[in-house]
Amino acid sequence: FSLMETMTGFSLLGTGDATKHFDYAAMAIGWALLFDILDGRVARMTRSTTEIGIQLDSLADIVSFGLAPAMLVYAWGYGTALDSWGNVHQLAWFLSFMYVICGGFRLARFNVQASRPRPLAEGTQKVDKKSFVGLPIPVAGCLIAAIVHFAPTPIRYTQRADLLAGLAMVLVAFLSVLMVSTLRFTSFKSIGVGRRNARLVISMIALAGMIYLYSRWVLLVLVLTYVVHGLVSRVLASLIRRSPERQSAEVHEI
């Protein structure tokens, strides 16, 4: 599955600059996500996880969800909408490069935390199976792909191309920061493992049908909901932690 994921990601590297292939490139990233999920599921179900498999999965991820989305958003978005090699264009190129670097750092950090657990230093986020530390690179890549799939027309052919190109740059920078952050994002690895759940099966079938019929809207809403959920959860957790501190401070003042 990792090799199939790499193949789907690599397939769009040669077609990302062709307008008619932008939508196909975005869908290829979606297929790469499916293969990535199947790869992890099968490995956990069969208990056949190996060190080589972990490293190969990371290499596949950096191609499918790092290089491919970075080139896609560059070719579809700000790469052609901005003046050739002006200051802003060079900044746009740098942001795409940093997206790949941040994605690689995110994968390296995950591999280290997963393979060599050690006592946590003070202030270090604790890693558990229910959450990821930092936005997973597949989600970041799929958000870019979902946006392109939703509106495959290149930005340079739209009205207010400069504004949209700037928003695309902000999005890439934002995703890069989220990947290297310590924000927690929900992991669904344990869902459906070790038990048969009729509701889960029915839900997955219904979701697959919705994606088939309304892929542009459903995929974009799903990925955006996941990202926003992680951000909102962090804000709520901070507010909950501050409430007892304020109550304690008020008691001491009294």
Q: What is the pLDDT of residue 122?
A: 45
Q: What is the mean pLDDT of the chain?
A: 80
Rounded mean pLDDT, 132-147: 95
Instruction: Please give the residue that has the higher pLDDT: either 130 or 234.
Output: 234
Tokens of 40: 């992890």
Distances (CA, A) of 55 to 37, 106, 146: 16, 13, 26
Rounded mean pLDDT, 192-206: 73
Of the candidates 7, 79, 15, 80, the residue with the CA atom closest to the CA atom of residue 39: 7
Q: What is the pLDDT of residue 39?
A: 80
Instruction: Please give the residue that has the higher pLDDT: either 243 or 107.
Output: 107
Task: Give dist(CA 211, CA 98) in Å, integer.
Answer: 31
Task: Give dist(CA 58, CA 178) in Å, integer.
Answer: 18
Rounded mean pLDDT, 220-243: 86
Domain at 2-118+125-253, CATH class: mainly alpha
Residue with tokens 């050690």: 118
Tokens of 169: 């740059």
List the single range of 50-59, 147-156, 210-219 with lowest mean pLDDT: 50-59
Split at pLDDT 50, 70, 90, the class of 233 is: confident
Of the candidates 75, 65, 80, 77, the residue with the CA atom closest to the CA atom of residue 8: 65
Radius of gyration of the chain (CA): 20
Residue with tokens 């740098």: 94
Of the candidates 194, 197, 193, the residue with the CA atom closest to the CA atom of residue 205: 197
* Single pTM value for the model: 0.82
The ranges assigned to domains in the chain are 2-118+125-253
Q: What is the pLDDT of residue 251?
A: 46
